[in-house]
Amino acid sequence: MLLKITGGILLIICGALSGFYYSCICIRRTDMISSYIRFLSRTRNMISYLRLDIHSVLMRSLSGDGIVSLIKETLREMDGGRSFEEAWTASVEKLVKGGAIFPGDKDIFAEFSRGFGEYGTEEEIQKLDMMIKEAENRLKNRREENASRLRIYRVGGVFCGVMAAVILL
């Protein structure tokens, strides 16, 4: 009897942990977009005030946020002889396949490299401002989605664990 109770409790705990795991994925998604917005803001400021080229901007952005893996991968690709646009696009693709960037958010990350460096400073700043607004809208939408999803995942995980325990006992 003790073994059945212990097994039931373990099933409930496993269900709860799986619910928390999926809720953490939702949180990680919003964190990556937040990190991207901070990166775009820093890039805008570096271009606006310091007039840095893209390689210098990327080198100065290597600390802190979750987007560092994307920047490192882009620099690695650029050292391999690719242009910035090719390197950034390839890096985004790699991180989508690796799970660091979610496929639904790929478009806002890929947009950064399109035409970068082909315009004057003022046009680049305007483009970055538009990208920041778009990313903030996407972040707002993700947070609204997460408000309900997080609860569903957590409660669903516990419920599935309880149901598995009841069925097996």
Separation CA 123–CA 150 (nearest Å): 39
pTM to 2 decimals?
Answer: 0.77
Summarize pLDDT for 91-115 with one digit per residue, the tens: 889 888 888 888 888 888 888 888 7
Q: Binning pLDDT at 50, 70 and 90, where does residue 133 land?
A: very high
Q: What is the mean pLDDT of the chain?
A: 83
What CA–CA distance (Å, rounded) separates 76 from 57? 15
The residue written with tokens 């050292």 in the block is 79
Q: Which pLDDT value is given to residue 65?
A: 65
Summarize pLDDT for 33-78 with one digit per residue, the tens: 888 898 888 888 888 887 777 777 888 777 666 788 888 888 888 8
In 46-120, which ranges are continuous DSSP H helix? 54-60, 68-79, 84-98, 106-110
